[in-house]
Copies of this chain bind each other. A is one copy, B any other.
Amino acid sequence: MKNNFSALRTKLKEIAHLNTAMTALMWDQEVKMPLGGAARRAETMATLSGVTHDKFLSTDFVTLLTELKKNSGAKKFDQGQAATIKDIWKTYEREKRIPKKFIEDEARAISAGQTAWQHARKQSKFSLFAGELTKLVELARRKADYIGFRHSPYDALLDLFEPEVRTQEVSIMLDELKKFLIPFLGKVFAAAKKENFSHDIFSGNFPLETQKKFNREIATKMGFDWHRGRFDESTHPFTVAFHPEDVRITTRYSQADVFYSIISTVHETGHALYEQGIEPRHFGTALAQPASYGIHESQSKLWENMVGRSTGFWKYFYPRLQELFPEPFGGISLQDFYNNLNAVIPGPIRTEADELTFNLHIILRFEIERDLIEGTIAVRDLPEIWNAKTKEYLGLTPKNDAEGVLQDIHWSQGGFGYFPSYILGNLYAAQLYARASQEMQNLETEIALGHFEHLLNWLRKKVHRHGKKYDPQELMMQATGEGLRSSYFIRYIEKKYADIYQLKP
């Protein structure tokens, strides 16, 4: 049996190497590829993806996997091996249930969907996208049927991104959160009329070379390992791991806004630290994979928000920022800087949202996509539903479809079930950070001294090194002693903004 696992391991390594090649092509496409290479790059990636798929469903592979699966209950395997067999089996069961014809149909619908979405968005006319979106929703429902589910078809889709998490749990948790956030936001808005914090006081002219230098200093200090990674530029910031020893982040710069790059650098470095914290010797097994999209997002959000927008972080970095950019920061106190950096300003666009309102943007999307997949609302009613919810949650109405229901790319790519990862990331992050602060009483002082390694080591031990050994719920149990709850995030938000906006309890 042990020997059979080692045979499976060899095959998994081969698949992992093919995935590495795929990642390299993807990274190159976003960062380096000349424009003329685009059309053929798509074909090369499709070819490679077909080769990987064939390996995965080859008779050899399936026979081996099936035999291992049969014996996996018998305690013959260590925890990592058992987790690997479980994870691969689950993927295999899913893949074999989805007919090839469906995958082709879906790929075509996504391609048509993206074109229609771009067109509709440019014209700011939802009706130009409604037909394609209807098809995409229909396909997502069929996909859920193929995969199978107990209660809601949305469960099957959610599971693709957040294993073993159910629609009902998420609904309850986000409902709780919403019930706190909406009135709390009301209080903040009322206070904001007086305080009027805004990023505008940071506007200036920031030479790109100096910005790049500062961003690299931040990533280095956070613990990014340059020997096993790179840092480049791309239109949309992202992180990819070829494997734990080659992890690449990107950011983008604006001459007029220094935070445009800094915030995304801290966020992507958070992702990268997770990938670099995975143990290379597990390459090809479940232990070398991130636990979920939500857990991945928890690592970026924890660094971005709990650390990167904290007083401690800026106690350490603000003097350097003032040194590099005396104009405008020379004349702004740390306290003013911190308050304005955390300004809450409601707006219609998710990607421009502050730390607080961001969550309401996600809750809105989750509710809509859940209801679409469960069939309780119809595509044609989306603009109306979207605008009503925006009004209810954020107190404003989008000017048009482009800044409303058409703003995000996700649905046009058939990515139903992904949005919750963003907010689950925030919830995981707050719970992990609360636990870390409890175990390391002087954490904030250490951060203010530029000692990020304590936090990093804690995350390495509690999260990174386990890879996908546990599902997200189990991982949270191991790391914090309890399953995910929204209360940590609520307490964190409450305290932070009560301080900034001097709210009365």
Q: Report which A residues bind B (CB closer than 8 A).
A: 13-14, 17-18, 20-21, 24-25, 28, 32-37, 39-41, 43-44, 47-48, 50-51, 225-230, 242-243, 245-246, 280, 283
Taking the nearest CB of chain B, how far is it from the CB of A287, in angstroms?
A: 16
Q: Establish whether residues B37 and A246, one from each chain, have CB atoms under 8 Å apart when the complex forms.
A: yes
Interface of A is mostly: helix
Q: Establish whether residues B34 and A20, one from each chain, have CB atoms under 8 Å apart when the complex forms.
A: no
Q: Establish whether residues B243 and A34, one from each chain, have CB atoms under 8 Å apart when the complex forms.
A: no
Q: Establish whether residues A36 and B283, one from each chain, have CB atoms under 8 Å apart when the complex forms.
A: no
- A225: B residues at CB distance < 8 A: 36
User: Which residue in chain B gives the minimum CB-CB distance to A246?
Assistant: B37
Cα(A227)–Cα(B33), bound, Å: 10
> A36 contacts which of B32, B34, B246 (Cβ < 8 Å)?
B246
Q: Establish whether residues A18 and B47, one from each chain, have CB atoms under 8 Å apart when the complex forms.
A: yes
Cα(A225)–Cα(B50), bound, Å: 31
> A51 contacts which of B18, B24, B25 (Cβ < 8 Å)?
B18
Q: Establish whether residues B47 and A245, one from each chain, have CB atoms under 8 Å apart when the complex forms.
A: no
State the number of copies, please: 2
Cα(A50)–Cα(B17), bound, Å: 11
Q: Establish whether residues B32 and A44, one from each chain, have CB atoms under 8 Å apart when the complex forms.
A: no
Taking the nearest CB of chain B, how far is it from the CB of A404, in angstroms?
A: 36
Known: A24-B28, A283-B40. A48 touches B246 (CB 8 A): no
Q: Establish whether residues A229 and B34, one from each chain, have CB atoms under 8 Å apart when the complex forms.
A: yes
**Shortest 7 CB-CB distances between A and B: which pairs?**
A37-B246, A36-B228, A17-B47, A36-B245, A17-B44, A36-B227, A20-B44
- A25: B residues at CB distance < 8 A: 21, 24
Q: Establish whether residues A37 and B283, one from each chain, have CB atoms under 8 Å apart when the complex forms.
A: no
Cα(A17)–Cα(B44), bound, Å: 5
30 interchain pairs, CB-CB under 8 A: A13-B43, A14-B51, A17-B47, A17-B48, A18-B47, A20-B40, A21-B21, A21-B24, A21-B48, A24-B25, A28-B28, A32-B230, A34-B227, A34-B229, A34-B245, A36-B225, A36-B227, A36-B228, A36-B245, A36-B246, A37-B228, A37-B242, A37-B243, A37-B246, A39-B245, A40-B242, A40-B243, A40-B246, A41-B246, A51-B51
